[in-house]
Structures are given as structure tokens and as C-alpha cells.
């Protein structure tokens, strides 16, 4: 188990402990319908390898790219309904801000005349965009801590869609072995899981502020990059509305 997953489990455990303690001391929460709006961050950065073999001069070129994805900010909006006592169902929608990464591309380009005489060179491609959109269906357990503060834990499935620019093609100047990388946008959606928690402080009976933590586990299969890690740790805060 890596450090990031272990930290996520520790944070979730703290939320569970606080909710269970509050449950033994205070009555059920008064909220029934709620809307949460969060500005958050998804700090996880990752790298991955791309291997491609486009045809050049009737022979396979060899393209290897080591590409990175940076963390990003995100907007998270969720709405829920208390279905029984302290149990609610909620639907959350998350979109990350578009982030940019770069790739170190190594190309072996065939000779225009002589077979199996590739020329190798390396170049760097920047401004490769990455974006994610997710939907989270959660079962939530909420309990008050004081008359103004409540805490929740939640878990459920997540549908994660990734939009990623990848270097999978090249252009070659006619009659030369000089190449220029070409980035292609690929998308894919994968079902994952999530868990997390949040704390809310009510300024009025209907309006409050709060903080949230969520860990999303999903591996998305892009056409050129199978099992790409997506989402990950997310945390932030924002406005809470109660009805």
C-alpha cells in the first residue's frame, strides 16, 4: 500500500471516529435536502510511457515518449437527499481545470532510401492538455457534532472520464529523417470507487461553509495508454446549502 493511499485511509478513519462519537452524544441531523459547492485541488502528478510505430518511407518508425501529467484545481458540486435517519444519497459532479504537461519524445526515423537505417533524435513537446470529469454516487452518513457543526463520511462508485493529449504520431520533412511530434487527443471513461468525508459549519440554519476530502480510485484505458491512473486525492472547501 503506497503512502498516498495510507494517508487517505487515515483521514477517512478520523472522519469515521468523529461521526460515531457524535452519533452517541447528539440527536439526528436536521438537514433533508442539501447542496455543496467546493473549490478543491487534485494534487496527484503522474508519468507514463507511450510507444508508437508510425509508417515512414514504407518502414516502421520507432517513437517513445515519456509524458507527465500535473495536478490541477477542480470544481465540485453535489446535491443529496436524506432518505432515512442519518443516511443520505448524493450525486456529485467534478471537473478539473485543464492542466498542461510535457513529453520527452525519442524518435527513430527510417532513411528515405536505405532500409533499417534509422536516425535517432530527442525533442520535447509542451502544452499537452489533461482534463477530467467525474460523477460520484455516494451513500452518506451524517451526524451533528454541535448545534452548528456536523460531520459526514461517504463512499460509492465514480465514473471518471479523461481527456488527454498524447504524442502518438510524427510528421517527417520529405526526403529527410527530421521529425516533428504530433499530439492527438484521446478520451476514455472508467468506473472506479471513492470514499471520503466532510465537516460543515452552519452560519445560519440554511447556509454554511465546510471542508471536504475525497479519494477516487480509477484506472482509465486510453487507446494508447492502458490503465492510466486518474483522479486520486481531492480536498478543498466551499459553501453548504440546506433545505
Identify whether the C-beta of residue 195 lies closer than 8 Å to the C-beta of residue 12: yes
Q: Give the chain's mean pLDDT.
A: 89
Indicate whether 14 pLDDT > 90.
Answer: no
Distance separating alpha carbons of residues 141 and 84, to the nearest angstrom: 10
Q: Which domain holds residue 98?
A: 3-242
Helix (H) or strand (E) holding 12: helix 3-23
Closest of 36, 94, 38, 88 to residue 240, by C-alpha: 36
Q: How confident is the model at residue 6 (pLDDT cuts 50, 70, 90)?
A: low
pLDDT of residue 153: 97
How many other C-beta atoms lie within 10 A of the C-beta of residue 223?
11
DSSP string, 15-54: HHHHHHHHHTTSPPP---EEEEEEEEEE---EEEEEEE--
Q: How many CB atoms lie within 10 A of CB 53?
A: 12
Q: What is the pLDDT of residues 163-181, one digit of tens each?
A: 999 998 899 999 999 999 9
Number of domains present in the structure of the chain: 1
Residue 64 φ/ψ, nearest 5 degrees: -125, 125
Q: Residue 127: give its domain's CATH number.
A: 2.40.160.20
Q: Give the whole-angstrom CA distance, residue 176 versus residue 168.
A: 20
Distance in angstroms (rounded) separating the CA atoms of residues 130 and 235: 19
- The yes-or-no verdict on residue 212 having pLDDT over 60 is yes
Give the whole-angstrom CA distance, residue 187 versus residue 78: 24
Q: Please determine, for residue 22, whether its predicted confidence score (pLDDT) is greater than 80.
A: no
Please name the residues in contact with 226: beta carbons below 8 A apart, sequence gap of 6 or more: none
Amino acid at each position: 500500500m503506497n503512502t498516498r493511499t495510507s494517508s487517505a485511509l487515515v483521514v477517512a478513519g478520523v472522519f469515521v471516529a468523529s461521526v460515531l462519537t457524535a452519533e452517541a452524544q447528539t440527536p439526528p441531523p436536521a438537514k433533508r435536502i442539501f447542496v455543496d459547492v467546493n473549490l478543491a485541488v487534485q494534487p496527484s502528478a503522474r508519468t507514463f510511457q507511450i510507444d508508437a510505430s508510425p509508417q515512414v518511407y514504407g518502414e516502421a518508425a520507432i517513437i517513445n515518449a515519456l509524458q507527465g501529467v500535473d495536478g490541477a484545481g477542480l470544481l465540485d458540486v453535489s446535491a443529496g437527499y436524506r432518505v432515512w435517519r442519518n443516511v443520505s444519497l448524493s450525486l456529485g459532479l467534478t471537473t478539473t481545470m485543464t492542466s498542461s504537461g510535457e513529453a520527452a519524445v525519442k524518435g527513430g526515423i527510417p532513411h528515405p532510401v536505405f532500409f533499417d537505417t534509422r536516425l535517432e533524435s530527442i525533442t520535447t513537446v509542451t502544452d499537452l492538455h489533461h482534463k477530467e470529469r467525474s460523477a460520484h454516487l455516494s451513500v452518506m452518513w451524517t451526524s451533528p457534532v454541535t448545534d452548528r457543526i456536523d460531520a459526514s463520511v461517504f463512499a460509492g462508485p465514480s465514473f471518471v472520464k479523461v481527456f488527454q493529449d498524447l504524442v502518438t504520431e510524427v510528421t517527417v520533412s520529405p526526403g529527410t529523417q527530421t521529425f516533428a511530434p504530433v499530439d492527438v487527443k484521446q478520451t476514455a471513461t472508467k468506473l472506479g470507487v471513492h470514499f471520503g468525508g466532510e465537516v460543515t459549519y452552519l452560519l445560519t440554519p440554511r447556509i454554511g461553509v465546510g471542508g471536504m476530502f475525497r479519494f477516487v480510485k480509477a484506472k482509465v484505458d486510453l487507446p494508447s495508454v492502458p490503465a492510466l491512473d486518474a483522479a486520486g486525492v481531492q480536498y478543498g472547501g466551499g459553501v453548504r446549502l440546506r433545505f
